[in-house]
């Protein structure tokens, strides 16, 4: 529509033209404002065949007669041009329709279209419109090699330069947006979808126009690179560049630190956490908070470091009554205005003005100094300069005041190699986009299953076969002479709890790797943290292969640092041989041989924390620490807060070469060379299914070794026979081949973890906000994709810049597009966007470790939490009533069961209010007649009972799988939705089942659903059910269909008497087609019969599954689950059905004088190891009210507690489900402990503590119904 002014209409004045889609003039499409003597033609593009308009003018109401208005309607598929005098204006949506029309007309200059899209994106004010533009521009860029572009090379070069300029502007804008998102980080929010789509656009653009080529393109467009440039001029320029680089050379250690350990721009930006905005100046001033109550703020720099040694400083000018200077980690969340010095979560380290206190976990920490003296307090108001050194190699922080060090804080060892400033003028801004581009490249290459470049393989193997990285092995206390019971295990947990020593002058503690049997390790360092009351102590470290005798260490307890140094010098010079541990030191020092009672490390600590390094690292199975307190502190005792070990597994191929730098490097180079050769030569053999199997198997191997999978060195991946039997796809690969491929998968996970927070994995999905705008955006995007597919079918358009392979791809793409014009727009979108980064990331979802996926999923859950504890419902459950109804079988709908009672009392609650956080209790339960007090136990018990009811005859909603009823095939224990439960009541109950699943996902309260793959797959939109899922629940059905196809035509009618009917999973017989019970199955119509049976059986519970999905979606939106496979979802909801005793031991504490070395505790663990999986589940339900452990280590939000029970050994153990604890009597033998515990878990189900029975509680036991 073209609207313009006419000289004959000057008396009309300013006219307003409105275009509507409907006759009632409700849907406005366009609006024009035309002034007199303004002869510019205004153009807007609208889509449709019929429009309605109004024309108004203020002059008409002043007596001027209405004038005629002439509209020009142009079909854009014709030869349409816009002249320079005409202005294309209007909404972004109309512009997108205009582009769609250009594509329909097979316009050949799509690079011009891309340029206009990028230009309009720079000025888009509407986020949703910007998302639509960015997605369409991304779509063009992803198919750059096959789209029609300008044929004139000179014009095409200029357009390319302009596109590169736009990309540079957008990249700068993205850096600003990303910095802005950091201002929201403290509250735990995720970047918005507009930032995600912009990032994907930039990644697609940089793959075509790299940043280093942008200046060349611009220069070429301007003609600056002329042929007349002389050789002398070039040489002069090169000489000048060489001189500049030489004079301003960046030190190697600085460049390496910036490259390896630092994330963020070289020029830091300060962020205000209170006002959630970036600061324009380095001068930081406090101002009143939004409520005008405080003059306080937290300022954070947008730089993150992961290792190395760093330094920064700040100057205080003027009056400041309170200030904190230091570091925070990414887990820090601003929850108050009291400053980071009062953070008690252990995520901050700082010095606090005005008393110069060093604060961690909200407590004052003593600094570490060479001698005891009273530290001079600096004058904070006189322009003092605070310097901060962060040493992540040796793990300490040091503060300097006007250049004078006041001692190391938190941990301490002298730094030898110098520090690197957080900013360096010689290093250009470090682009986050480059890091994301590497992640994008690796993702793309693994998706396309093509050979990997040497550079990527080298990067993937950089951290493999290395002794540099800690493997975070889990340790446990074996024994101690001074710390008893639960205190001994508290010191391995990073929290403020203290373990008090009864012998401060001689504390001995022995540790080993957590597990049933001792495991060899290579110890590199030990970190010890004591409370601030401890001001000095000495640490001796002993390592051996056997459980030691503490008396053998007494000979050296009076040593100081000089005595230990003299001992070390004598050992190195004498090289005395003995039948002991051999420690390989470096080649210059020779081999040092130590006896088990000789210390391998020593440090004399002045302060409350220490970090002891083994030089060189030491191998063994037991490590003993001797702690000698020189100062018993202000409270007359010695306490320990936390002890941690930095080590690697003893099965590492280089473990026996530690200390011999030359040999270990030679061996590592051989391993890396071999892995690189295997990766390159065997890359084509690996399928996506093999990668997914390897990912799952590697997590199992890592758990067995007791290390995190991301820290598992690839050369340690050694699957056993059981692993290979479970993952049969990997039997064709050699072990070295699996190790090389695992290194690539680890590298992928490291790269993709930060990228997942910025990539929109729900491309073209509806946004959370409803409205017509969303429909319009989706419609425009689909129209564009359809038009792009149609445009590529034209054989006449030129395709410049593509290789032969790209042309072949384009040709095949064109033919597929033209042959599928009848497909739906959604399927076309999937086909067209298959090359987008989001789709590639989604394709590789089976290659991500569970922790990688959960890092994003947990953030999404936390940011969408809406549960209010004050509105917690109160539920009454009568389990006696439920049991009687189950025995009498008079409850056909299951409403008297525990599940039914929960459903009846919660069905009128908005299920979306159950969006809680991890560990939250969403309702309070009172068990009638049982005297329960709900502090968590009855709530968990109600959920466990509800799931048990669903998988029994107590409710009709689920039936045992046909395999279970017939005792054949797999999944005999699995339950499936009842196909006959289709009433509105039953569907509402199914919806509540989905709510329970969502609650399990959000609160980490796993529920023991025994459901097959056919159920879990239907809860995820991307998973498809097939014959394998049907066979997994009804093997006889699939077997019968296969046998029917084997019968020859002559014999068929004599042996087959089937009709077009089939039995569902609940035994109900239904017709497969109209009048099917009267239609015989013949050899001719057998394919139709088989197809109908499979289709019906795979979709027999569609209504029920839709109801479950509806309930799940109200608590956890399904789009949040897009990265998970069906078996991931099962683990997240249900946990691992196999109770891992080692995992339970790692999360166990002891009280009442017990410890891991107590006899009754040893009997207890031996009993659990001897239990079957069913008995282990009964035990867990007995002590915790649930029958599954948390799915991952990060999901444990409470520890299991074992207490001593002051009773005779004839007593039964007592469980406290609210507190996940058990009281153990002092059993004298393993047999007695096993028998008593087995009796308790089988016979003690009710919550029956001492209580005053009221009439209502007694009524529950005598009620006759």
What is the CATH classification number for the domain harbouring 612?
A: 2.60.120.260
Range of the domain at 1169: 1141-1243
Domain assignment present for 1149? yes
Q: Which two tokens stand for residue 378?
A: 């600096």
Q: Which two tokens stand for residue 405?
A: 């060090």
Domain assignment present for 172? no
Report the pLDDT value the prediction gives residue 1053, as an integer from 0 to 100.
81
Give the angle 219-225-230 at the CA atoms, nearest 5°. Answer: 155
Q: Determine phi and psi for 412, rounding to 5 degrees.
A: -150, 125
> Do residue 400 and residue 479 come from a single domain?
no
Report the pLDDT value the prediction gives residue 1241, as an integer from 0 to 100.
83
Report the pLDDT value the prediction gives residue 981, as an integer from 0 to 100.
93
Is residue 535 within 8 A of residue 636, CB to CB? The reply is: no
Report the pLDDT value the prediction gives residue 407, as an integer from 0 to 100.
61
> Do residue 507 and residue 368 come from a single domain?
no
> Do residue 415 and residue 491 come from a single domain?
no
Report the pLDDT value the prediction gives residue 1100, as an integer from 0 to 100.
92
Q: Determine phi and psi for 642, rounding to 5 degrees.
A: -155, 135
> Do residue 357 and residue 315 come from a single domain?
yes
323-328 and 309-315: which strand pairing?
A: unpaired
Is residue 20 within 8 A of residue 52, CB to CB? The reply is: yes
**Residue 1121 DSSP SS3:** helix
**Residue 963 DSSP SS3:** helix
Domain assignment present for 250? no
Q: Which two tokens stand for residue 266?
A: 């070289």
Residues with pLDDT less than 50, the chain: 76-78, 80, 82-90, 214, 217-230, 241, 244-245, 369-375, 412-418, 576-591, 633-635, 761-834, 1248-1265
**Alpha-carbon gap, residue 900 to 1163, rounded angstroms:** 41
The number of distinct structural domains making up the chain is 4
> Do residue 493 and residue 636 come from a single domain?
yes
Whether the bond between 616 and the residue before it is cis, its omega within 30 degrees of 0, is yes
CATH number at residue 925: 3.90.1750.10
Q: Which two tokens stand for residue 850?
A: 């569970």
Domain assignment present for 709? no
DSSP 448-508: HT-PPPHHHHHHHTTTSS-SSS-----EEEEEESS--TTHHHHTTS-SS--EEES-TTSEE
Length of the chain: 1265
Q: What is the pTM of this model?
A: 0.70
Domain assignment present for 532? yes
Report the pLDDT value the prediction gives residue 537, as an integer from 0 to 100.
87
> Do residue 979 and residue 1116 come from a single domain?
yes
> Do residue 417 and residue 516 come from a single domain?
no
Other CB atoms within 10 Å distance of the CB of residue 219: 12
* DSSP code at position 617: E
Using a 10 angstrom Cβ sphere, with 0-12 exposed, 13-18 middle and 19 or more buried, the burial of residue 51 is middle
Domain assignment present for 85? no
Domain assignment present for 456? no
Domain assignment present for 449? no
CATH number at residue 350: 2.60.120
Q: Determine phi and psi for 130, rounding to 5 degrees.
A: -60, -40
Report the pLDDT value the prediction gives residue 802, as an integer from 0 to 100.
37
498 is catalytic: no
CATH number at residue 1175: 3.30.2410.10
Active-site option among 166, 1218, 1233, 1244? 1218
> Do residue 994 and residue 885 come from a single domain?
yes
> Do residue 415 and residue 528 come from a single domain?
no
> Do residue 391 and residue 496 come from a single domain?
no
Report the pLDDT value the prediction gives residue 38, as an integer from 0 to 100.
67
- Domain final residue, candidates 602, 625, 651: 651
Other CB atoms within 10 Å distance of the CB of residue 199: 26
> Do residue 273 and residue 404 come from a single domain?
yes
- Domain final residue, candidates 651, 680, 706: 651
Report the pLDDT value the prediction gives residue 576, as an integer from 0 to 100.
46
**Alpha-carbon gap, residue 560 to 603, rounded angstroms:** 8
> Do residue 1115 and residue 1191 come from a single domain?
no
Report the pLDDT value the prediction gives residue 505, as an integer from 0 to 100.
86
């Amino acid at each position: 529509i073209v609207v313009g002014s006419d000289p004959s209409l000057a008396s009309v004045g300013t006219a307003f033209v409105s275009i509507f889609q409907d006759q009632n003039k409700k849907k406005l499409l366009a609006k024009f404002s035309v002034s007199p003597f303004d002869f510019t033609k205004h153009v807007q593009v609208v889509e449709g065949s019929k429009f309605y308009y109004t024309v108004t003018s203020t002059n008409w109401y002043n007596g001027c007669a209405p004038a005629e208005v002439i509209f020009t309607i142009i079909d854009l598929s014709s030869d349409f041009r816009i002249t320079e005098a005409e202005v294309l204006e209007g909404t972004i949506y109309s512009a997108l329709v205009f582009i769609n029309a250009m594509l329909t007309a097979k316009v050949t200059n799509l690079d011009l279209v891309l340029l206009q899209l990028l230009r309009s994106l720079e000025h888009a004010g509407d986020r949703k419109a910007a998302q639509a533009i960015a997605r369409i521009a991304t779509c063009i860029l992803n198919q750059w090699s096959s789209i029609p572009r300008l044929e004139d090379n000179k014009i095409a070069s200029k357009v390319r330069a302009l596109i590169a300029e736009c990309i540079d502007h957008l990249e700068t804008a993205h850096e600003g947006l990303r910095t802005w998102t950091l201002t929201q980080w403290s509250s735990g929010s995720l970047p918005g979808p507009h930032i995600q789509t912009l990032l994907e656009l930039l990644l697609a653009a940089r793959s075509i126009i790299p940043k280093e080529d942008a200046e060349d393109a611009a220069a070429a467009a301007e003609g600056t690179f002329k042929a007349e440039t002389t050789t002398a001029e070039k040489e002069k320029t090169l000489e000048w560049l060489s001189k500049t680089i030489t004079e301003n050379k960046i030190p190697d250690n600085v460049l390496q630190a910036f490259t390896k350990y630092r994330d963020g721009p070289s020029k830091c930006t300060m962020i205000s956490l209170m006002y959630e905005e970036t600061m324009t100046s380095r001068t930081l001033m406090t101002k009143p908070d939004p409520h005008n109550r405080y003059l306080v703020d937290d300022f954070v720099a947008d730089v993150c470091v992961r290792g190395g040694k760093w330094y920064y400083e700040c100057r205080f000018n003027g009056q400041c009554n309170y200030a904190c200077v230091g570091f925070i980690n990414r887990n820090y969340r601003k929850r108050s205005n009291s400053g980071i010095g009062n953070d008690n979560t252990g995520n901050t380290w700082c010095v606090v003005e005005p008393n110069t206190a060093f604060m961690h976990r909200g407590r004052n920490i003593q600094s570490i100094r060479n001698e005891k003296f009273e530290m001079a307090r600096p004058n904070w108001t006189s322009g003092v300069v605070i310097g901060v050194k962060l040493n992540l190699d040796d793990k300490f922080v040091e503060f300097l005041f006007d250049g004078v060090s006041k001692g190391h804080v938190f941990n301490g060892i002298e730094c030898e190699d110098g520090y690197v400033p957080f900013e360096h003028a010689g290093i250009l801004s470090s682009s986050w986009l480059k890091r994301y581009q590497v992640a994008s490249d690796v993702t793309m290459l693994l998706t396309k299953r093509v050979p990997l470049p040497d550079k990527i393989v080298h990067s993937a193997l950089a951290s493999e076969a290395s002794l540099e990285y800690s493997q975070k092995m889990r340790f446990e206390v074996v024994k101690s002479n001074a710390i008893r019971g639960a205190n001994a295990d508290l010191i391995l947990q990073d929290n403020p709890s203290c373990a008090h020593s009864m012998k401060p002058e001689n504390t001995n503690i022995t540790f080993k790797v957590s597990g049933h049997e001792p495991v060899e390790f290579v110890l590199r360092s030990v970190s010890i943290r004591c409370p601030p009351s401890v001001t000095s102590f000495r640490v001796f470290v002993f390592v051996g292969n056997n459980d030691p005798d503490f008396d053998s260490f007494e000979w050296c307890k009076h040593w100081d640092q000089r005595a230990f140094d003299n001992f070390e010098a004598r050992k190195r010079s004498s090289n005395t041989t003995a039948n002991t541990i051999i420690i390989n030191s470096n080649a210059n020092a020779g081999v040092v041989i130590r006896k088990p009672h000789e210390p391998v490390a020593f440090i004399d600590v002045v302060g409350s924390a220490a970090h002891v390094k083994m030089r060189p690292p030491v191998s063994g199975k037991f490590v003993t620490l001797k702690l000698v307190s020189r100062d018993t502190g202000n409270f007359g005792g010695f306490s320990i807060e936390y002890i941690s070990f930095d080590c690697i597994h003893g099965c590492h191929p280089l473990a026996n070469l530690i200390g011999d730098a030359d040999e270990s490097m030679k061996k590592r180079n051989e391993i890396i060379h071999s892995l690189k050769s295997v990766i390159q030569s065997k890359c084509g053999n690996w399928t996506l299914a093999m990668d997914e199997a390897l990912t799952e198997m590697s997590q199992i191997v890592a758990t067995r070794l007791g290390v995190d999978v991301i820290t598992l060195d690839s050369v340690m991946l050694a699957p056993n026979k059981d692993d290979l039997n479970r993952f049969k796809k990997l039997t064709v690969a050699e072990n070295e081949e699996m190790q090389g491929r695992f290194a690539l998968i680890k590298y992928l996970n490291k790269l993709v973890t930060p990228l997942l927070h910025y990539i929109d994995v729900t491309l073209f999905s509806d946004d959370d906000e409803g409205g017509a705008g969303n429909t319009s955006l989706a419609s425009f995007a689909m129209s564009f994709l359809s038009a792009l597919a149609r445009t590529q079918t034209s054989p006449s358009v030129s395709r410049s810049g593509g290789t032969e392979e790209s042309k072949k791809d384009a040709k095949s793409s064109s033919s597929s597009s033209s042959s599928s014009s009848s497909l739906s727009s959604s399927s076309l979108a999937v086909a067209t966007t298959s090359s987008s980064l989001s789709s590639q990331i989604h394709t590789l979802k089976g290659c991500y470790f569970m922790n990688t996926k959960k890092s994003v999923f947990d953030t999404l859950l936390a940011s969408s939490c809406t549960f209010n504890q004050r509105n917690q419902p109160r539920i009454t459950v009568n389990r006696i009533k439920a049991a009687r109804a189950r025995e009498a079988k008079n409850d056909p709908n299951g409403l008297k069961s525990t599940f039914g009672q929960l459903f009846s009392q919660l069905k009128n609650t908005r299920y979306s209010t159950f969006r809680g956080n991890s560990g939250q209790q969403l309702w309070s339960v009172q068990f009638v007649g049982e005297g329960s007090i709900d502090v968590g136990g009855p709530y968990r018990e109600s959920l466990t009972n509800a799931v048990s009811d669903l998988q029994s005859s107590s409710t009709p909603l689920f039936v045992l799988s046909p395999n279970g009823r017939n005792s054949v095939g797999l999944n005999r224990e699995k339950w499936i939705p009842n196909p006959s439960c289709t009433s509105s009541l039953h569907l509402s109950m199914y919806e509540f089942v989905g709510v329970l699943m969502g609650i399990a996902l959000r609160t980490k309260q796993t529920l023991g659903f025994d459901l097959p793959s056919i159920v879990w797959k239907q809860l995820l939109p991307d998973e498809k059910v097939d014959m394998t899922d049907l066979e997994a629940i009804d093997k006889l059905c699939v077997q019968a269909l296969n046998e029917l196809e084997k019968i020859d035509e002559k014999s068929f009618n004599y042996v087959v008497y089937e009709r077009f009917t089939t039995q569902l999973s609940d035994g109900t017989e239904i017709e497969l087609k109209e009048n099917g019970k009267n239609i015989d199955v013949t050899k001719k119509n057998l394919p139709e019969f088989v197809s109908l049976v499979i289709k019906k059986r795979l979709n027999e519970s569609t209504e029920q599954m839709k109801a479950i999905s509806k309930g799940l979606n109200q608590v956890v939106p399904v789009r949040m689950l897009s990265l998970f496979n069906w078996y991931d979802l099962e683990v997240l909801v249900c946990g691992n059905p196999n109770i891992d005793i080692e995992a339970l031991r790692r999360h166990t504490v002891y009280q009442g004088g017990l410890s891991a070395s107590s006899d009754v505790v040893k009997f207890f663990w031996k009993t659990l190891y001897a239990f079957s999986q069913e008995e282990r589940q009964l035990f867990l339900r007995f002590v915790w009210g649930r029958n599954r452990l948390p799915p991952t280590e990060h999901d444990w939000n409470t520890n299991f507690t074992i207490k001593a029970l002051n009773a005779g050994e004839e007593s039964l153990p007592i469980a406290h489900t609210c507190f996940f604890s058990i009281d153990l009597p002092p059993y004298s033998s393993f047999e007695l402990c096993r028998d008593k515990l087995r009796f308790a878990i089988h016979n003690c189900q009710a919550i029956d503590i001492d209580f005053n029975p009221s009439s209502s509680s007694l009524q529950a036991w005598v009620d006759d119904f």
